[in-house]
Amino acid sequence: MWELVKAGGWLMTPIVVCSILALVIIIERSHTLQFNKVAPSRLREQLITRLRENGDIGRTQLMNVKEKTALGDILATGLLYRQYGLESMTMHMQNRASVQVHQLEKNINMLGTIGAIAPLLGLLGTVLGIISSFLAITDGAMQDPTMLAAGVSQALITTAAGMIVAIPALVAYRYFQRRIIDINAQFETQAGLMIQELYDYQLFENTYNPSSKTSAHRASSDETVGNEHSTSVLSSDNGIAMTS
């Protein structure tokens, strides 16, 4: 193996570096992008069951849920802002989902970049190997075929090495992209089901509703104005009666 690397010339160094980076990213992302670690299947049911039994979940418990998994971060954030109404809860869950998806995409673009530049490095090695072969011909390689073989071997080795690195990198890049799309869809599904279950089990009934507070304030103001108007009318009637 080392002899092949040496025969490929100096361009084998960046190709080998790309292969090492691609291997590290593939192993790390394969370990991270597992459904049971990112979006546990029964997490939503456990949170809803605890809400139904206890009426609420403590902030400390929700913070522990947030720190364990990406889906837990999204759902716990929604429950933390549940008291402020549906719009606030949905907005905060969307923000956390965007942050979590960005974290899941870590190093994925680098994997795609490696898959794109590795063949180019191999092609560059091919061109340099052919150039060295033609230069060897002008220097009398027809009498010494080993001078011609060195350039040809460099061209073939770098091309093959670039393809060997690029193909797995591109396959893994497309696979991880699809996995992230599936995980994002799971985030949306679980968040939507949790909101629906909060309504179904009437777990929104004690939440803060600014519109209802405003309506109550307006109703009390109208009642006060009505009482003052009635009092003034009675006072004027009494005045007329006294005058007569």
- Residue ranges making up the domain that contains 219: 209-244
- At 49 the pLDDT is 93
Contacts of residue 28, Cβ cutoff 8 Å, sequence gap at least 6: 107
| Same structural domain, 128 and 160 | yes
The answer to whether 18 touches 165, Cβ cutoff 8 Å, is yes
| Same structural domain, 140 and 220 | no
| Same structural domain, 30 and 64 | yes
Number of domains in the chain: 2
| Same structural domain, 28 and 49 | yes
From first to last of the 244 residues of the chain, give the pLDDT tens digit. 677 777 778 889 999 999 999 999 999 999 999 999 999 989 999 999 999 998 889 999 999 999 999 999 999 999 999 989 899 999 999 999 999 999 999 999 999 999 999 999 999 998 988 888 777 776 655 556 666 676 788 888 999 999 999 999 999 999 999 999 999 999 999 999 999 999 998 887 554 444 444 444 444 444 444 444 444 433 444 443 333 3
- Distance, C-alpha 69 to centroid of its chain: 12
| Same structural domain, 61 and 115 | yes
The model scores a pTM over 0.85 = no
Cα separation values, 80 from 43, 50, 191, 199, Å: 16, 14, 13, 16
Give the tokens for residue 106: 């870590």
- At 75 the pLDDT is 96
| Same structural domain, 144 and 239 | no
Sign of CA dihedral 178, 182, 184, 188: positive
| Same structural domain, 160 and 213 | no
| Same structural domain, 233 and 148 | no
| Same structural domain, 226 and 175 | no
- At 5 the pLDDT is 76
| Same structural domain, 172 and 234 | no
- At 138 the pLDDT is 67
As a whole number of angstroms, the distance between CA 64 and CA 32 comes to 19
| Same structural domain, 176 and 57 | yes
| Same structural domain, 157 and 179 | yes
